[in-house]
Structure 1
Amino acid sequence: MFGLFKRSATLQIYIAAYDRGVDANGNPKPDHWAIIVSKSLSHAGTAHHVIHGHPLFEYRPRDDVYVLKSQSLAHVLNIGKISEKDVAKIEEVFEKVAVNNVDKEWNCQDWVLEAVSGIQGLKEVSLEKGLKVENLKEAVKAASDGRDYN
């Protein structure tokens, strides 16, 4: 009888930045960003991100992402927590974030910033204290690659 009530696990919310190398002129390409929802960096999680490029950007979540197994992982920042039972609420927000295939300056980092803004007001999401969307680019860039997390 006591086994019927299972506590919902707490999942972590991360922003992962992946190095994309250099363009044809040798200039660094902007990092690819994704929001990762997972028990921890050592567990498989779901990546929420936009893929492709202009004019074909599209939101596409991807399950079974192991952040620390990626050779191109540059930075990872823990931005908050959510109960496993409430994940559908943030996924609804992510699905509604507009994809901009018109502005050539817009990219996956802009999508992540808007997605984080969208979940900021949800009572089910506990974002890290002091987290400010306008400072996320600097915070992600300053974060480690996560391989020292345990």
Structure 2
Amino acid sequence: MFGLNFFKRPQALQIYIAAYDRGLDAAGNQKPDHWAIIITKSLSHAGTAHHVIHGHPLFEYRPRDDVYVLKSQSLAHVLHVGKVYEKDVKKVEDIFEKVQVNNVDKEWNCQNWVIEAIMGCIGVSGVSLEKGIKVEKLRELVKAASDGRDM
């Protein structure tokens, strides 16, 4: 009557924000961290990084598969922000693709894109964000996150 998959629990993937150190600019000032949204089974598994690349005026959204967060030499911080069921990942990726890239405002960067992308996931069925994660506080939360290399 019921197939074997009827009782199979849906697989949940983890959603993280990873912040990567970009070093110093020509004047010796710290560049802002590069942010990406990582969807993966766990930090020890390969996942997909969702982020914008390049810079003004060439920013573009480009996902990248096979990203091992903890293997990056430039990883500064990683923050767990939620979960998404495997069957609902496409919905989330569709949201990410629709987030506008701003190549006009020189103050806009990948961090703004990540915040807007996470905001787009609020209330989406199959996605649950961590309780206490306030999107407007993501900058502080990411900076306060433990150094991902120590996990």
Q: TM-score, normalised by structure 1?
A: 0.95
Q: Which residue of 1 aligns with 2:72?
A: 70
Q: 1:132 aligns with which of 124, 134, 145?
A: 134
Alignment of 1:1-150 (within 5 A): 4-5=4-5, 6-149=8-151
Deviation at 1:82, TM superposition (A): 0.8
Q: Percent identity?
A: 79
Q: 2:66 aligns to what SS in structure 1?
A: strand
Looking at structure 2, the residues matched to 54 and 23 of structure 1 have their Cα atoms a distance apart, in angstroms, of 15
Looking at structure 2, the residues matched to 13 and 44 of structure 1 have their Cα atoms a distance apart, in angstroms, of 13
Contact 1:20–1:72 under 8 Å retained in 2: yes
Unaligned runs of 5+ in 2: none
Deviation at 1:124, TM superposition (A): 1.4
